[in-house]
Amino acid sequence: MPQDRDIAIAARRLTKTYAATKKAPAKEALKGIDLDIKAGSIFGLLGPNGAGKSTFINILAGLVNKSDGEVTVWGFDIDRNPRQARASIGVVPQEITTDVFFTPKESLEITAGLYGVPKGSRRTMEILGALGLTDKADAYVRQLSGGMKRRLLVAKAMVHAPPILILDEPTAGVDIELRKQLWEQVVKLHDQGVTILLTTHYLEEAQELCDEIAIINHGEVVACEPTEKLIASLDRKTLMVTPAETLSAAPDLSPFAAELKPDGRIAIPYTPSEGRVRDILDRLASAGVGVRDLTTDQPDLEEVFLDLTYRRDAKDASRAAAPQP
C-alpha cells in the first residue's frame, strides 16, 4: 500500500472472520473494508452494535489479528512494523479500566514506563493539567468520579504523545456536563494536531465534532463522506409553513402531503430532486392558503444513519421475503 503522510490510517480490502465455535458459527466481522482517515481530522466511525467497529479498532491496536488485507497506521504497516504502528496510537476504551489502587499520577508514570518513555521526557503533570486532573493527581483512582476516570483514560492514552487518538464510546454513561468537559479537552488535543478517531452512539456529537464520517453496517462501509455532504445526501426535506390565518385542517396540496401541527404550522415533506419549494407555494396559493412565514427543516445525521442501517436492513429483509416471480 502506498504511504501518504496526509493519511493517518489507511485500510485496503480489510477482512476479519472469526472461526466457528461450539456455541456460534463462523462470523465475517469485516468484509473487505477500504478506508482512509486524514491526518489532523476528527473522523467518526458509526454503526449499530455488532457492525464491526470494535473489530476494526482492535485490529489497529494489535489486539485482534486481521484475516486479510492491508492496514497502515501513521505510515507504518501493522504487519511489517507492528511496534511503530501501535506506538502511533493511543486508545481510550469503552469500558472504564483503571487500577483503583494507584493514583492518577502513578497510573500515568506506569503507563509511560510500559511505552518506554524515559523519565526525563515524561509529561505526567502536564497531561493531568490539560485534562483537569491536577488536583486529583495524588488521590486514589477509586475516589474519582466516573467522568474523572474517563478523563484519566484519555490521559493514559496520551502519555507517549501519539499522533492518533482513538476514542471508543468515550462519553457512554457520562452526564451532560462531564460530556461537555471531556469534549472540550478532546478538541484542545485536536487543535494541537492530534488526529481523532471517534465511535459514538450520540449522533449529535458526531455531527457537531466530526469533519468526516464513515457508517459501517454488517462489516461493510455503507457510506464515507464529509459530514455536511453525508447529511445533504439524504434527499428529503420538510417545508414548515406558518399560514396567514389559523386552519382547522390540513389543506389538500396533492401530490404533496400536508400535516397540520398542534402549533398551527403545516409540515410538507418533499424531495428536492423531484420537487421545488415554488411548486409547493403554488399549491398553497391554489388551495387559498396565505403564507405568513416558512422555514425548511434539514435532515440530521440520525436520519442518515437510520436510512443507511436499520431502514436499509428492513428493506432488504422485505425484498428477501417477497415471493420471487
The structural domains of the chain, ordered by start, are 7-88+162-231 (3.40.50.300), 97-156 (no CATH), 235-298 (3.30.70)
Residue 141 pLDDT level (bands cut at 50, 70, 90): confident
Query: pLDDT at residue 2 above 50?
Result: no
pLDDT, one tens digit per residue, over 75-108 is 999 999 999 999 999 998 877 777 778 999 999 9
Contact indicator for 166, 57 with CB cutoff of 8 Å: yes
Q: Grid cell 482513538 — which residue?
A: 166
- The confidence score (pLDDT) of residue 40 equals 93
Contact indicator for 205, 227 with CB cutoff of 8 Å: no
- The confidence score (pLDDT) of residue 119 equals 92
Query: pLDDT at residue 58 above 90?
Result: yes
From the number of C-beta atoms within 10 Å of its C-beta (0-12, 13-18, 19+), residue 209 rates as: buried
Torsion sign (Cα): 114, 116, 120, 126: negative
- The confidence score (pLDDT) of residue 130 equals 81
Q: How far is the CA of 300 from the CAs of 224, 232, 308, in angstroms?
A: 16, 9, 13
Residue with the larger pLDDT of the pair 197 and 2 = 197
